[in-house]
Chains A and B, each alone.
Chain A
Amino acid sequence: MSAFYVRGIGMQAPGMQGWSACCGVLSGRVPYSDQALVPPMPEILPSNERRRATASVRLALSAAQEAAAASGVDVSAFATVFTSSDGDGVTLDQICNTLARAPLDLSPTRFHNSVHNAPAGYWSIAIQSRHASTSLCAFDASFAAGLMEAAAQVAAGPAPVLLVAFDLPFPPVLNPLRPVSVPVAVALALSADPGSAPMARCALAFEASAAPAFAGQGGLDALYANPAGRALPLLALLAQRAPGTVRLEYLDSCSLAVQAQPF
């Protein structure tokens, strides 16, 4: 399929708050240190939405905002692809508790926050953009699925595409069902044209064979166990600024090959 340009990256994870911190670790210049993530609050959210936005919305939009700002593209020009395996576990837990106890007490704000496209809705309201937006899920393969969707949208044109992958730990009652232990959000600003300062030119290929096991440096396993953390092999390639190809884990025995040529 046709190539696309990476124009900006956003990152929110423990020890990697912002692309510059992430880049330092993944390029090998700085050892990884597992610092707790300071809960981010994206400045683009208007005050009304700040009050209502859940932790998952704030995490996703913080990464999105960083990638968009780094891209040099007007933030309102992007179509968006949000991808997440588990969405908003806190809201799910609250809703299930209410439904089990007193279902008539369900809050309308919780209900609208429970839709998988809630971050996309908050984003479009925050930046007043009517561009198309898609919200996806592919369980552990959510990042690779989102990257394929975003690349297909760039190819279909004409808007640049902001890809946002995020997942958070489930609250205690739900956590045994899905043992993700740390929050991660990764955003990539992608376009068909290189602009003035592209970071890399990339091309994707779906492959019917499995990817090699992730071999990150110590401490990154918890991040990689988060579906959004499955972006780490690609981010490492981009951080090292050397041409190469990584294969991302996708569904069962399939993988997604990403070829990158840095600038």
Chain B
Amino acid sequence: MQHRLPITAFTVTSALGPGCAAHLDAIEHTRAGLRREDFEGAALDTWLGRVADLEHTPLPPRFERYDCRNNRLALIALAQDGFEDAVRRAAHRYGAQRIAVILGTSTSGIRETELAYQQRNGGALPATAGSYRHRHNLFSLPEFVRDYLGLRGPAQTISTACSSSAKAFASGLRSISAGLCDAVVVGGVDTLCFTTLFGFNSLELLAPSPCRPWAADRDGISVGEAGGFALLERDGEGAIVFEGYGESSDAYHMSAPHPQGAGAALAMQQALAMAGCTPADVDYINLHGTGTLANDRSEDFAVCRVFGPGVPCSATKGLTGHALGAAGILEAAICLLALQHGLLPGTANTPARDPDLGANLLLEPRRRALARAVTNSFGFGGSNCSLVFARP
């Protein structure tokens, strides 16, 4: 099986702003993108990582049938950092039918159906709900992206809650290895909706102030939204290489992590084994770090078990919010920026590490050249994924 795929282009948009430059700047200055919850009358006592102006940027008329908050964010992300041009070059090189689109999302355009239910008054759904396939269905995202980019290869959505877009990297690598395609657009998009806001509220996991991962008094998550993409190619010149992945299941509980992070540790160990490296070869870990008591404790246990207490780590959800199904691509992009620019992010909002936790948590950003970074993404259903990226 072919490992080590070059990443020939990548981009991301989140509450930190559009594109790689906005993210690099926010990380360098630990400028958080969170704000008080102000989403469509939800009236919850929490903070959000919300992308500005999605309400005012409809898709062009040609793609109107796909128009929803999620695909709007997809289009914004596609148009940045030369990503579209890179895909078009790859399509020219390999053929449009040899490029796959594998993207993660947990809720796609579900907001359209939520709104239709608000309007139905006990009767039938209004006609606005009619484009279920192109807006709400989970496949809407890769179908739109494939259509917009003029690609003709395989396409699918990975939907495993908060590990979705990390697992898209794993599926993309396997697809190239199996010969199904020569290049893959991976990544994902997840956007604000009531299902996740009120869902996390029902679990009493929404933090009333900006989330503080790894802090002793951490009290929950700040929900965010993000969209991002990376182009993996069979061969080519990339500044960064995708070296390996690890995937596991907790087999423990539908919405709570394994207390000792057994599944998480397994995912990290498998990722290192596939990358052919040891824990000592890793210079930075971007933690899943959601900011709930149980999640951070479980992940800390797993990180310390696999890596010991030395490897610098940070949790960036205090900057961006938890982008759920898009957390994987968002934090992969942060790792790629860290590798490219020699900049380790800090952990926004967290004044000090919980003394009961052991990972080497960076509170402030640090400038230091690094060769290899790991990112963790864990989701409901006990779905775990770790990715390894390196400078070639």
Contacts and interface: CB of A to CB of B under 8 A. Distances in A.
Interface stretch (A11-19, A92-100, A237-245): A92-100
B251 A254 contact: no
B114 A149 contact: no
A134 B254 contact: no
Contact of A128 (B110, B156, B194, B251): B251
A145 B156 contact: yes
A124 interface: yes
Interface stretch (B52-60, B147-155, B339-347, B370-378): B147-155
Q: Which of B124, B178, B194 is packed against the most chain A CB atoms within 10 Å?
A: B178
B249 A120 contact: yes
Given A121-B383, A139-B137, A155 B1 contact: yes
Contacts of A130: 248-251, 262-263, 266
B294 interface: no
A1 B178 contact: yes
Contact of B178 (A133, A151, A174): A151
Chain A CB count within 10 A is highest, among B156, B252, B383, for B156
A104 B41 CA distance: 13
Interface stretch (B167-175, B207-215, B300-308): B167-175
Interface in A114-156: 114-118, 120-122, 124-125, 127-139, 141-142, 145, 148-149, 151-153, 155-156
Interface stretch (B9-17, B82-90, B198-206, B219-227): B198-206
B161 interface: yes
Contact of B153 (A100, A142, A176, A206): A206
Interface in B156-195: 156-161, 167, 170-171, 174-175, 177-181, 194-195
B120 interface: yes
A208 B152 contact: yes
A155 B180 CA distance: 12
Interface stretch (A21-29, A30-38, A61-69, A105-113): A105-113
**Interface residues on chain B, size class:** 35 or more
A137 B159 contact: yes
B382 A124 contact: yes
Most chain B CB within 10 A, of A87, A136, A141, A208, is at A136
B139 interface: yes
Contact of A132 (B157, B194, B247): B247
B248 to A, nearest CB: 5
B251 A129 contact: yes
A151 B252 CA distance: 27
Contacts, number: 210
A100 B126 CA distance: 14
Contact of B177 (A116, A118, A124, A155): A155
A133 B160 contact: yes
B160 A99 contact: no
A132 B106 contact: no
Given A106-B202, A111-B199, A137 B380 contact: no
A97 B119 CA distance: 11
B143 interface: yes
B138 interface: yes
B230 to A, nearest CB: 18
B368 interface: no
A8 B158 CA distance: 25
Interface of A: 1-2, 52, 85-87, 92, 95-97, 99-100, 103-104, 106-108, 111-118, 120-122, 124-125, 127-139, 141-142, 145, 148-149, 151-153, 155-157, 173-174, 176-178, 206, 208, 250-251, 253-254
24 contacts: A86-B137, A87-B138, A111-B198, A115-B159, A116-B106, A116-B160, A120-B383, A121-B381, A121-B382, A124-B381, A130-B262, A133-B383, A142-B139, A145-B154, A148-B156, A152-B171, A152-B175, A152-B180, A155-B1, A173-B120, A177-B125, A208-B152, A250-B154, A253-B152
Query: What 7 A-B pairs have minimum CB-CB distances, sorted nearest first?
Result: A121-B381, A111-B199, A116-B159, A132-B247, A177-B132, A124-B249, A137-B138
